[in-house]
Chains A and B, each alone.
Chain A
Amino acid sequence: MSTKPIAVLGNYKDPDLLITAASRIRESGYKDFDIFTPYPVHGLDKAMGVKRTILPYISFGGGIFGLANAIFLIWWTGADHYKLNIGGKPLFAFQFSIPVMFELTILLTAISTFLGLWFLCGLPKWYSPLQNDKGFMSAVDNTFVVGIMATDQRFSLEATKKLMTELGADDVRLVQE
């Protein structure tokens, strides 16, 4: 086992304390830090300074793509490539295309949202060095875990540990790989 530092972790039990800590860490200039919580905490992303996601644009793009696909599919199959007269209806009309346009828009919006979310979250992630830390797993149970990553420019072992302790974290510890 090598001794490459990964992150400094600290545990919190109190959500109010956690939010104060998050905004203090952001104000100290750290950019590469993350907080692992068992449930969504209101106001936490604001305190952490998390930027608004670009996911809606991915969804919208997917929706437009689905809509365009539907129009093309109906027009090309029915009115261009293989013309079939069905009940004397026009070969192509928006009236009967709208259900397909609607469905494909919804479908492609949903798929692009789903895949976009995976992409933006860096999923699938099979392994994270943080998993080796025993206390980290309590983030899915009853603890909020704050981690300042070693990749952050301001990261220094002593100062980061000191900051975390000042901010009221329990069990401040270094995770190594």
Chain B
Amino acid sequence: MTPIQLQGTPFISKLQKIAIASIVIGAVGFAAAFAMEDHTRVLADYLIGFVFFAGIAVTAMFFSALQYLVKAGWSASVRRIAENFAGFVPFIIIGMIPIFVFRGELYSWVHALDIHPESVKNAPFLNNTFFGIRLVLYCALWFLMYRYIVGNSKKQDTASDYSPTYKNLKRAAPFIVLYAFTITFAAFDLLMSLQPHWYSTIFGVYFFAGNFVATLSLICIFMINLYKAGHLKGYVTLEHFHDVGKFMFAFTIFWTYIAFSQYFLIWYANMPEETIYYTIRLQGGWEWFGWGSILLHFVVPFLTLLRQDIKRRLPIMMFASCLLLFAHFIDLCWIVLPVFSNTLRFGFPEISAWLLFFGLFIFVVARQFGANNLIAVNDPYLKESIEMVS
């Protein structure tokens, strides 16, 4: 197999243009918001943007490991796209720093003893030292996994035997366990502890499901653009779009299932310490975000992706992918923003923070696409993947 290098192609320069434009617009908007709005809101917007793309980067790594774990035949020719997204993982630690530094403005438990004496029972878990240790631990573990899983996958491109793949097959299993723990506790720390009196044990799964749908959608968007530019000729066929579409469809339903499971138990038990989560999110205009989540994250994508032949029509897949990414953003906004404002408050600060991170993410990903082979050329499953009929 001949390696496909994208360096110097219009695809990379287009990505870089998009990235730089987004960074400039996002940074200007974010700076303006920082000057005009109260800092808590701006930090919350930062959190949304950061979690959106950090989640996608880490989950893209999970996607790659999952393909190794199950020895998937279909995905060898699309796996590298996800691994290029994972190139954002080393930068997560930089993004974590402002969250740790300004934790006092984001998380009310930081001043727990001053303002919430009743929350002291949380103190062994939610305290400054342990919070910092945990954030460092997530970054360190994710970085190690990135080096092991994605690093080995890239090593396989030039290896003379299949030993990097065999190593990955073994490492994928403990990685998935570590991923499950880190993504769950990261969701608890970064998002759920915004309301330190409220617990939901399914919250980590909920966060994972949203991330996985968003990751698959982003993979699909990149696949469509690369496919149309002709870079994937001979490697990716409509069969691969069909499989990614099935994945998206399945995990859209999974997200709904988890989201409803959380809501259903809280609605039925009707205990104030639990219902507070939905109470503040279903009033003051935030209910539109909730309804938007149901509509854009379930009803529309479900009915769009239901038919078999739809998954092979690229314009519709493009629509569904963009819609699901947007729905994930709406969902994260709905998780974070109502904590800081009783009434609907959504505007350019939220969008510019997201754009800023979008630009940074695309910038890093463009570099990855330039540096790596587009296809895992030496992968033992590549032949099976090319010939795959779904």
Contact = CB atoms under 8 A, between A and B. Distances in A.
Interface stretch (A91-99, A111-119, A139-147, A163-171): A91-99
Contacts of A60: 306
Chain A: interface residue count, which band?
under 10
B150 to A, nearest CB: 33
A95 B389 contact: no
B346 interface: no
Contact of A42 (B260, B307, B308, B389): B389
Interface in A25-49: 42-43
A56 B267 CA distance: 35
15 contacts: A42-B389, A43-B389, A56-B307, A56-B308, A60-B306, A95-B263, A95-B264, A95-B267, A95-B268, A96-B264, A96-B267, A96-B268, A98-B260, A98-B264, A99-B264
B278 to A, nearest CB: 11
Interface of B: 260, 263-264, 267-268, 306-308, 389
Nearest to A60: B306
Contacts of B260: 98
Interface string A98-110: 1100000000000
A136 B366 CA distance: 60
Nearest to A93: B267
Contacts of A98: 260, 264
A43 B387 CA distance: 12
Contacts of B264: 95-96, 98-99
A99 B263 CA distance: 12
Nearest to B387: A42
Nearest to B309: A52
A99 B260 CA distance: 10
A10 to B, nearest CB: 26
Nearest to B306: A60
A43 B239 CA distance: 14
A42 B267 CA distance: 49
Contacts of B263: 95
A86 to B, nearest CB: 11
A99 B267 CA distance: 13
A56 B307 CA distance: 9
A96 B265 CA distance: 10
